[in-house]
Chain A
Amino acid sequence: MKTKALYIVVIINLLFLAGCWDQRELANVSLAIGMAIDIGENDKYQLTVEAINPAELNEQTTSGNAPTVTFSLEGNTIEELGQKMNIGFSKIILYSHMKTVVLSKEIAEKGMLEFLDFLERSREIRDDFNFVMVDGGKASDVLKVLYTIQKSSSLKLTRQLNTGAKIWGLDPDIRLADFVNAYTSMGRQPVMVAVRINGDPKKGATVDNLKKSELDTMVEIDSLAMFRDETLVGTLPVEETRDYLWTQNRVKSTIISIPCEQDNYMSIRMTKSYTKIKGDIQNGRPHIQLRLRMEGYMSGNQCNNPLNQPSTYVKYEKLAEDYIKERISKTIQQVQEEYGVDIFGFGEVVERQNPKKFKKYKNNWDEAFQNAQIDIEMDVKIRRAGLVSKGPLLRNK
């Protein structure tokens, strides 16, 4: 009986002594939804945090004030700044729901990505937020541009990047984990999406921006930023981002317009695409074989080719194969010649398939990549013609 009583006393005391140490009552917490990192004027970094005002994001409680509040501080480490945010903010800032981290172009050009260590180490921050570079302007401005639907800039940006990657292949939807994996890999160089602010950042930062149907300021997907280790080497335009994604087997669906006559185009909605890569090194030169299989249906036809005839499909499939092949090889060639960084991860493929041969090139793979021979094999299948076989253009004749 005495021991039992003792146990109970111990257990109750344990609750009081050991409990609550990491308690954060929801009412005392502000969610940081985005982070922007610029170069500081006096210190190494300037950190801007976008915290949300939850009442504004709820239909019932909204009163028309700004949905987010941002605050910037300068300092030498992101981790310390993150905890010092209460110089401006009132509540404990919670970073676990952070959706985007925006870097300024200067940071990327100077390769000041030392904060990667903190981002990966922190137990609070996840590794699945979008990593974004802003091309031109301050990174902090991106966080301030409000958007009508998601309200918060970071929420909008993460949704936008997610959708863009799924629907057309506009951006690679790079998360911290992807970036770090590429950064640490011997056979791959990291990329991230670059966005730009279209319009006046000052106007975008007011609730007035939300009251227009044509927003004064918008954050738009700009290009694909390529890195050599932590330093920015250049960007590829959006159209070529898709070519990049094709090589990565990451295009879920897309639509592609291909010239079939002078000034007339036909378009295929690709619903499936698979990419297989084989990599080898022969006579000191990497040989990369890409095999792409795509399936889709006709979504538009401006040319005088009736779609109720098999010959049209054969013709269009051939056109599409040549067109896409041309695009992809041009993009790869451009990266090889102009930037010389293996963003495609061909090195990883070679390492996986011929690990012994790769060992020799491990430390200077990018050089080997620059004179790699790329073979592309295309196989496009057009399965259906949509709702009509002869379109109105043909029926009109």
Chain B
Amino acid sequence: MEIKRDEENTFVHELKASLQGSFGQTADLVMEPMKIAETDGMLFYLSTAIDNSQLQQTLMGKQTYQPNSSFDLKSKEGIRGFCEQMFSGSGFKFVHTLEEVSSEILNGSLAIAFKTFPSYITIAMPNSNMRQVAEPTSQTVIRGPKDSFVELASINMTLVRRRIRNPNLRFEEFIIGNETQTKVFLGYMNSIANEQIVEEVRKRLNNINVSAIFESGNIEELIVDKTFTVFPLAFNTERPDTVAGELMEGKICIIVDGTPFALLVPAVFTDFFISSEDYYHHYSISSFLRLLRYVSFMIVLIVPSAYVGILTYHQELVPTNLLINIMAQREGVPFPAVVEVLIMELTFEILREAGIRMPRAVGQTVSIVGALVIGQAAAEAGIISNIMVIIVAITATANFVAPVYSLSAATRILRLILIPIAGFLGLYGVLLGLVVMVAHLASLRSFGVPYLAPIAPFNMDDQKDVFIRFPFWGMTRRPSYLRTAQPVKQKNKESNTPPDRQRRNDG
């Protein structure tokens, strides 16, 4: 809507009417008349979106500006010059349509309308009062940076930018959510990331057509290749170092305003067994821990169902003495093994969910009740056998080994599916279930990248950073499945050798 210029005052009144029309009687909309050097104008802003101290700083002294100074505020040129001098550096803009003004105000801008000036002036001063950058809560490490993302996208980008001081680090802004107008940033290394994958992510982000986005989880479900799967097809992290590291590998991050969890795509299955800490510790312990995570994954998946299968169908697989012990313990247990396992696994899931949800103050009570009453007392009462308590405990503990919650969530679900199958078909069923699971995994894609890469399709060079981590001097290439623009990370392939050995080698 173009602004008419026939009458003075029109600009102010028009904006006022328009804002009142769109914002209604909302309490946080402030419309204050103001006067700078005899020129009438009006301030418009949302008190909830604006930084108050910045507002005061910006306007301080402006009202006392004398008309006999160098700018004639009665004229258009004068106002333009005045703004350029007074507000430059604070993000001021001349805005010509009422819609733009309204959206600027929503984003935390101050809007000024002058009687005499045909455009509106907006100055960005968004409220950045937010939780401090603190330690990550869900992806903690022993050694490594202790900062984590916060709910403000601009700070999150700062945290990444601080780690990659490179002009090739690009952030593209998307406004997603028809009603919420959430800011979403697509970050990638222009020199490294595969342009086609970036374009695909752009396309998928642009295709999103929902009313509200509050968390990166919303985006994740809307952009992944397949939603009918328990496996996470996008990696989520609250760690800026993880994001920075993966960007340097050629991945693409999506930072959503309002949540500390950023997405990393494309994600492959093996990513979920990697903690950023792996790169900070010595490679021997990192490799061991990685293998441990794979083992734990299999423990969570298989141990309860294997217990059911072996005890109901394949007693001959158990060493005799162990079987005798299990039999002695299970003597009075009234339920079949499958029911026993389901009872205990469900009990644990209840405890776990309660542990997350319950108020801090009663937390201890619940854990005591859970551990004692349900574990020990149930075994003593003869409802379950002692060995069952061990099975649940090892499964539960192993589940917490997963560095990313979304994969451990997937294993929890699969485990509960495998248990009844083991009850019906024994170990044969467990194996069938695993075969189906692997077939399903092999069918998945994350932004066109096979989910099981680099194991299927297999790539020898990528194995340096999958099950074990090679020393840094050995990891010379970026993951081949990401098809990066710069496949080679670094050239030097040798570790340092002490000088005396070098001499010997030369001679």
Q: Which residues of B lie under 8 Å from residue A60 when comparing CB positions? A: 328
Closest residue of chain B to A151 (Cβ to Cβ) is B324
Residue of A19, A22, A58 ringed by the most chain B CB atoms within 10 A: A19
Quick check: is B329 within 8 A (CB to CB) of the other chain?
A: yes
Q: Which of A93-101, A178-186, A250-258, A297-305 lies at the interface with chain B?
A: A93-101
Chain A residues closer than 8 Å to B324, beta-carbon distance: 31, 52, 54, 57-58
- State whether the Cβ of A269 lies closer than 8 Å to any Cβ in chain B: no
Q: Mark A11-35, 1 if CB is under 8 A from B, else 0.
A: 0000110111011111101010100
In-complex Cβ contact of B424 among A16, A96, A126 (8 A): A16
6 closest cross-chain pairs (CB), A and B: A19-B424, A96-B316, A58-B328, A54-B327, A54-B328, A15-B424
Q: Tell me, rounded to whole Å, the shortest Cβ–Cβ distance linking B314 to chain A.
A: 9
Mark out the residues of chain B between 74 and 89 whose CB falls within 8 Å of any chain A CB in the assembled complex. Answer: none
Q: A19-B425, A57-B325 provided; 7 other pairs, C-beta below 8 A?
A: A15-B424, A16-B424, A24-B313, A27-B330, A27-B333, A31-B323, A58-B325
19 pairs of residues in contact across A and B, judged by CB atoms under 8 Å: A15-B421, A19-B423, A19-B424, A19-B429, A20-B424, A23-B312, A24-B312, A24-B315, A26-B327, A26-B330, A27-B333, A31-B323, A33-B320, A54-B325, A54-B327, A54-B331, A55-B331, A58-B328, A124-B316
**A97–B311 contact, CB under 8 A?**
no
Contact A99 B320 (CB under 8 A): yes
Do A97 and B313 have beta carbons less than 8 Å apart?
Answer: no
Taking a contact as CB atoms under 8 Å apart, the answer to whether B320 and A97 are in contact is yes
Q: A residues near B, CB below 8 A?
A: 15-16, 18-20, 22-27, 29, 31, 33, 52, 54-55, 57-58, 60-61, 94, 96-97, 99, 124, 126, 155
Chain B stretch 316-347: residues in CB contact (< 8 A) with chain A: 316, 320, 323-331, 333, 336-337
CA distance A25 to B423 in the complex (A): 10
Q: How far is the CA of A67 from the CA of B333 in the complex (A)?
A: 20
Task: Please name all residues of chain B whose beta carbon is closer than 8 Å to the beta carbon of A57 when the two chains form the complex.
Answer: 324-325, 328
A22 contacts across to B, CB distance below 8 A: 313, 426
Report whether A94 and B313 are in contact in the complex, using a CB–CB cutoff of 8 Å: no
- Name the CB-closest residue of B to A98: B320
Q: Give the docked Cα–Cα distance between A99 and B326 (Å).
A: 18
Q: Which residues of A contact B320 (CB under 8 A)?
A: 31, 33, 97, 99, 155
Q: Is the interface of B mostly helix, strand, loop or mixed?
A: helix
> Once the chains are docked, how many angstroms separate the CA of A395 from the CA of B177?
99
Contact A25 B337 (CB under 8 A): yes
Q: Which residues of chain A are within 8 angstroms of B311 by Cβ–Cβ distance?
A: 25-26
Smallest distance from the beta carbon of B391 to chain A beta carbons, Å? Answer: 14
B33 to chain A, nearest CB (A): 63
Check B331 against A96 for contact (C-beta < 8 Å). Answer: no
Contact between B312 and A26, CB atoms less than 8 A apart: yes
User: Which of A16, A31, A155 meets B327, CB within 8 Å?
Assistant: A31
Establish whether residues B316 and A126, one from each chain, have CB atoms under 8 Å apart when the complex forms. yes
Most buried by A among B329, B336, B420, B424: B424
Q: Give, as a whole number of angstroms, the nearest-CB distance from A99 to chain B.
A: 7
Mask of B45-82 contacts with A, CB within 8 angstroms, 1/0? 00000000000000000000000000000000000000
Interface residues in B81-111 (C-beta closer than 8 Å to A): none
Please name all residues of chain B whose beta carbon is closer than 8 Å to the beta carbon of A33 when the two chains form the complex: 320
Decide: A27 near B331, CB < 8 A? Known: A19-B425, A19-B429, A54-B324: yes
Assuming the contacts A19-B429, A99-B320, asked whether A29 and B315 have C-beta atoms less than 8 A apart, the reply is yes
Cα-based distance from A26 to B313 in the complex (angstroms):
9
The docked-state distance in angstroms from the alpha carbon of A19 to that of B316 is: 19
Taken together as a complex, chains A and B put the C-alpha atoms of A97 and B324 apart, in Å, by 10
Which of B311, B320, B420, B421 has the largest count of A CB atoms less than 10 A from its CB? Answer: B320
Residues of B within 8 Å of A25, CB to CB, are: 311-312, 336-337
* Nearest CB in chain B: distance from A27 CB, A: 6
- Is the Cβ of B323 less than 8 Å from the Cβ of A97? yes
Q: Quick one: closest A residue to B310, CB to CB?
A: A26
A349 to B312 Cα, complex, angstroms: 46
Complex interface residues of chain B between 329 and 386 (CB less than 8 A to chain A): 329-331, 333, 336-337
Tell me which residues across on chain A come within 8 A of B326, comparing CB atoms: 26
Q: List chain B residues, Cβ under 8 A from A31.
A: 315, 320, 323-324, 327
- Report how far A68 CA is from B331 CA in the complex, Å: 15
Name A58's contact: one of B312, B329, B333, B337 (CB within 8 Å): B329
Residues of chain B within 8 A of A15, CB atoms compared: 420-421, 424-425
CA distance A96 to B317 in the complex (A): 9
In the bound complex, do residue B421 and residue A23 qualify as a contact, i.e. CB atoms below 8 Å apart?
no
For chain B residues 412-433, which have a beta carbon within 8 Å of chain A? 420-421, 423-426, 429
Contacts A19-B429, A31-B323, A97-B323 given; indicate if A61 touches B328 (C-beta within 8 A). yes
Chain B residue nearest to A94 in the complex (CB): B315
Task: Give every chain A residue within 8 A of B325 (Cβ-Cβ).
Answer: 54, 57-58
A16's closest neighbor in chain B, by CB?
B424
Query: Measured between alpha carbons, how far is A20 from B316 in the docked complex, in Å?
Result: 17
List the A side residues contacting B327 at CB < 8 Å. 26, 29, 31, 54
Minimum CB–CB distance for B477 against chain A, Å: 41
Q: How far is the CB of B212 from chain A (nearest CB, A)?
A: 29
The residue of chain A having its C-beta at the shortest distance from the C-beta of B335 within the complex is: A27
When distances are taken between beta carbons in the complex, the residues of chain B under 8 Å from A99 are 320
Residues of A within 8 A of B312 (CB): 23-26
- Complex Cα distance A33/B324, Å? 11
B419 to chain A, nearest CB (A): 12
| Alpha-carbon gap, A241 to B190, bound state (A) | 81
